Amino acid sequence: AGNHIRSLNSTGIVAIRDREVNPADIERVLDAAQAVAIPADQRVLHTLAQDYVIDNQEGVREPLGMSGVRLEAKVHVVTCAVNASQNIEKCVRRCGLEVDDIILEQLASAYSVLTEDEKELGVCLVDIGGGTTDIAIFTEGAIRHTAVIPIAGDQVTNDIAMALRTPTQYAEEIKIRYACALAKLAGAGETIKVPSVGDRPPRELSRQALAEVVEPRYDELFTLVQAELRRSGYEDLIPAGIVLTGGTSKMEGAVELAEEIFHMPVRLGVPYSVKGLTDVVRNPIYSTGVGLLMYGLQKQSDGMSMSVSGSSYSSDEPKAPVLERLKRWVQGNF
């Protein structure tokens, strides 16, 4: 995630060599689709197939084995800053781990919180983190649009710190424990203690007054998301509505405020297809982390390369299973 993320929709066309689509044809057409001009400081992160066209037959999702003479691929290409991806790799390797792939944050979150029915019908995922809000729009089972908005939880914390004249670390704690994104839901009779700067004594503040500080920032954020939806052209093509996820989405009143602004169904997205300690991970904070694990396990079970970006991070050396490597890392660091 980050402001350096860019995306666009592209198409590629190739001739089907043996009149029957084989894996090599699919690889060639995806390579052709991602051959777009990008700045020198950017690299292709993902080439995500939306659907295929074989001769005049549109809307083909699985072209392998089908007959024809011309294969066309419609794809969503995501690029990122070269330096940003290199820094991520360095951080991981310094922890004694290897990088199999780098995944777009909202794509990982989508793996864990969106249902297949929602992606088929049309849905917008809004992942509200600390530094950015990441958007992904799905229709007909494929990703159609992605965007990044540079407003998220950190700005809410800063607003609280400035308005209440309290240190940032206390503002973050107040946000998590007491803040409400919709002032009319906050009890006017509820009060909280606000630590002051320096040696000044703490002050008391109503929870409703705190909500009046927080609500304008959430209103601004959702208005920017709505503007991005309209720019994308998919605002009227997402009957499944909006799914909010990420740590900043769990604030009381966020879903209700979003429904007032978007005028469509809104739900809070948490990892749903998880076994074991579900009470721990069924929290929007863990959507991206769980999605990364689900993505990796799916690619391993499919026997496919972990790379969907046109450049593999795998080495020639055999690797232990993902969970075994994580276990060794935890044992070595804690």
- Taking the chain (334 residues) in consecutive chunks of 10 residues, what is each chunk's mean pLDDT? 90 95 95 93 94 94 95 96 94 91 94 96 97 96 96 97 95 96 89 88 93 97 98 97 97 97 97 77 92 86 49 42 59 60
Does any domain span residue 327?
A: no
DSSP 3-state percent helix, strand, coil across the chain (nearest 5):
45, 25, 35
- Taking the C-alpha atoms of residue 247 and residue 244, their distance in angstroms, rounded to an integer, is 10
Q: Do 267 and 206 fall into the same domain?
A: yes
CA atoms of 240 and 222, how far apart (whole Å) = 17
Question: Which structural domain, as residue segments, surrounds residue 168?
Answer: 105-304
If asked whether residues 94 and 159 sit together in one domain, one would say no
Residues 236 and 117 in one domain: yes
| 86 shares its domain with 190 | no
Give yes or no: residues 1 and 96 share one domain: yes
CATH number of the domain encompassing residue 44: 3.30.1490.110
pLDDT of residue 125: 98
Contact 52, 95 (CB under 8 A): no
Answer yes or no: do 98 and 109 share one domain. Answer: no
For the chain, the domain total comes to 2
Contact indicator for 93, 313 with CB cutoff of 8 Å? no
| Residue at which a domain ends, from 102, 135, 162 | 102
3-state secondary structure of 125: strand
Q: Which of 295, 325, 296, 314 is nearest to 100 (CA)?
A: 314
- Report the side by side order of strands in the sheet with 133-139: 142-149, 133-139, 123-128, 242-245, 266-268
Residue 249 is assigned to a structural domain of this protein: yes
| Whether residue 44 is found in the same domain as residue 119 | no
* Calpha distance 128→130 (Å, rounded): 7
Distance of CA 266 to the CA centre of its chain: 17
Q: What is the pLDDT of residue 325?
A: 60
Which of the listed residues 102, 133, 162 is the one where a domain comes to its end?
Answer: 102
In a domain, 285, yes or no: yes
What local confidence, expressed as pLDDT, does residue 322 receive?
Answer: 55
In whole angstroms, what is the distance from residue 39 CA to residue 23 CA? 30
| Residues 187 and 116 grouped into a single domain | yes
Query: pTM score, two decimals?
Result: 0.87
